[in-house]
Amino acid sequence: MGIKFDLLQTDSGCKARAGMFHTEHGSVETPAFMPVGTIGTVKTLTSQELRECRVQIMLGNTYHLYLRPGLEVLQEFGGLHRFNQWSGPILTDSGGFQVYSLDELKKVTTEGVEFASHWDGSRHFFTPERVVDIQRIIGSDIMMVLDYLTGNPADYSISREAHLHTVEWAKRSRTHFLSTEPYYGFQQYQFGIVQGGIYKDLRAASIEEICNIEFDGYAIGGLAVGESLEERNEITDFCTDRLPTELPRYLMGVGKPQDILDSIELGVDMFDCVIPTRNARNGTVFTHQGKLMIRNAKHKLNSNPIEQGCDCFTCQNYSLGYLHHLFRVREMLGYRLATIHNIHFYQRLVKEAREAILEDRFQTFKKAFLTEYHG
């Protein structure tokens, strides 16, 4: 009944894992990177292009999808897969992070969180149960529980309060999940989220309580929100030491290529981040040498692709000089082509990491990557 996760290999030199989990919309090789399809679409791209970029699973934002297109539309269409024509697995977040990030007035109680839509100011109320219901209607393959967030960096007492509320909400979420059914005839899974800020005793308590609830996988939340890299890695390391080995581990909101490799080394299986897509639209693309700014005047006459040897559609067809031109005149095609390259780069990164783990040479791979890469 729970998610099927095959742990295929753990690197002998570190905690890096290669595995595969299975949903009714397809299997996902781990480590996996999930591009962010905020409002149902990974910005600028078709579902076909995502597939061509080797994407195996995409992320949707519950907060955004709930507001637009809204539940009536999603239900009428039979869920997000049929609406956006992405036939692979979808993971949806709980909406909590977006709600907490809103400038608009929001009110958090032990019952849930009230917020105002960034579109029209209309008021809405998310509870742990409501967020399960919404994700039933979205029809994601994996749904996240609503967690209780704090501003970062948060002091101990605030982090402790957030952890305690998150555990309560997780219990309510799981109970509601187990007492409801999917709408669209395929199995949905639910992941819990570990909180506790940068305090190890809180993280330990959170892991114990959240894991006791028994979810299909576990996310490490509350990181990548302003703490130092050392703190993040230390907490990630602490968490992966304590999370069950037989289920997927997801580090939410991470990150840069070097951060992803750090976290894979520490035993994380799943990632999501807006960096590849948002950077692309700003004209920053990734190469194995580091980031490259398309708008830089030095690329004006460059007839080479963004990266030699890259087999993405963009590099196979268009020059850096042409991309420079497209960005200079603000043609949408430029944003598309850069997005394709960056998503492809991230998919290639986790794929190469996975191959290295399967061949028990992850740290050698990581070292070689970082020697070349200057981010």
Asked if 360 is an active-site residue, the reply is: no
What are 23's strand-pairing partners? Answer: 26
Distances (CA, A) of 195 to 158, 161, 163, 210, 270: 11, 10, 5, 9, 17
Nearer to a second copy, 69 or 244 (CB): 69
Among the listed ranges 4-12, 40-48, 51-59, 266-274, the one in contact with a second copy (CB under 8 A) is: 40-48
Piece in contact with a second copy (CB under 8 A), picked from 27-35, 202-210, 250-258, 321-329: 321-329
For the record, the structure tokens of 143 come out as 């749904």
Under the binding rule (CB under 8 A), the answer on residue 369 touching a second copy is no
DSSP H helical ranges for the chain: 47-52, 62-65, 71-77, 80-84, 96-101, 128-138, 156-178, 200-213, 229-242, 257-265, 275-281, 313-317, 320-328, 332-358, 362-372
Cis amide linkage into residue 255, ω under 30° from 0: yes
Q: Annotated catalytic residue: which of 93, 141, 147, 269?
A: 93
- Are the C-beta atoms of 182 and 188 separated by less than 8 Å? yes
Contact flags string 272-301 toward a second copy, x per CB under 8 A: ----------------------------xx
272 counts as catalytic = yes
Cα–Cα distances (Å) from 333 to 36, 309, 338, in that order, read: 19, 22, 9
Determine, following the binding rule CB under 8 A, whether residue 76 of this chain makes contact with a second copy. Answer: yes
Task: Verify binding: residue 326, a second copy, rule CB under 8 A.
Answer: yes
Query: Which residue's CB is nearer to a second copy, number 110 or number 303?
Result: 303
The reply on whether position 335 binds a second copy by CB under 8 A is yes
Regarding 45 and contact with a second copy (CB under 8 A), the answer is: yes
Residues catalogued as catalytic: 93, 272
Give residues in contact with a second copy (CB under 8 A): 39-41, 43-48, 64, 68-69, 72-73, 76-77, 83-85, 300-301, 303, 317-319, 321-322, 325-326, 328-329, 331-333, 335-337
